[in-house]
Every structure is written in C-alpha cells, then in structure tokens.
C-alpha cells in the first residue's frame, strides 16, 4: 500500500465505507491520524484523602474508563477471548 499517509487515509475511508454498509458492523471509526482530545486533571490531594482516595486511585479509574480493562474471559473449546470493559 505504501508509506504515503494521504493514500493510506483514503484507503482507510473506503474500507470504513464498505464496513458501514454491513448491518452487522456498528459505528466503524478510524483512529489513525485523528486528533484526540487531551484532558489535564488537577487533583486536590487533601480532598481525595478525606474521601479515602489517592491520586493513584483516580488515575487507575480514569485509565480503566478511557482505555478499558480486561474483566473476564470467554472460553469455547480451546479458544479464549478477553472481555474488555470501558466507559462509553
């Protein structure tokens, strides 16, 4: 296919269009070369401690919500698939 990002992006859009035509595919999207929002979080450590939380607790929860976390596995015969839970 080649290293040209414009060509790759064009191909990706065409593939997404084909996938979107399939009724079994839900909301296909492209992640490559799309700008992602950035979140800067300022935590008040004293307030967190009053709630029994640490900045690390908050960071782990945010990471789980945004990136997902394996919560279980589905197994059938010799195959297994991890189930990833994340925020919507």
pLDDT value for 4: 81
- Which pLDDT score, from 0 to 100, does residue 1 have? 62
For the chain (88 residues), the mean pLDDT of every run of 10, in chain order, is 78 90 86 68 94 95 89 92 88
Rg of the chain (C-alpha set):
20
- pLDDT (0 to 100) of residue 21: 93
Across 1-88, the runs of DSSP E, i.e. the strands, are 69-76, 79-85
Give the domain ranges of the chain: 1-36, 38-88
pLDDT for position 82: 92
Give CA–CA dist 61/68, Å, rounded. 10
Contact present, 65 and 87 (Cβ < 8 Å): yes
pLDDT at 35: 60
Per-residue model confidence (pLDDT) at position 38: 76
pTM: 0.47
- Counting Cα atoms < 13 Å in the Cβ hemisphere of 74 gives 3
């Amino acid at each position: 296919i080649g290293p040209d990002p414009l060509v790759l992006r064009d191909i990706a859009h065409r593939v997404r269009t084909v996938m979107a035509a399939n009724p079994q595919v839900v909301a296909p999207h492209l992640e490559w070369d799309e700008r992602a929002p950035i979140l800067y979080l300022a935590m008040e450590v004293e307030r967190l401690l009053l709630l029994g939380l640490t900045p690390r607790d908050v960071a782990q929860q945010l990471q789980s919500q945004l990136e997902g976390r394996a919560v279980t596995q589905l197994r059938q015969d010799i195959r297994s698939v991890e189930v990833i839970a994340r925020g919507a």
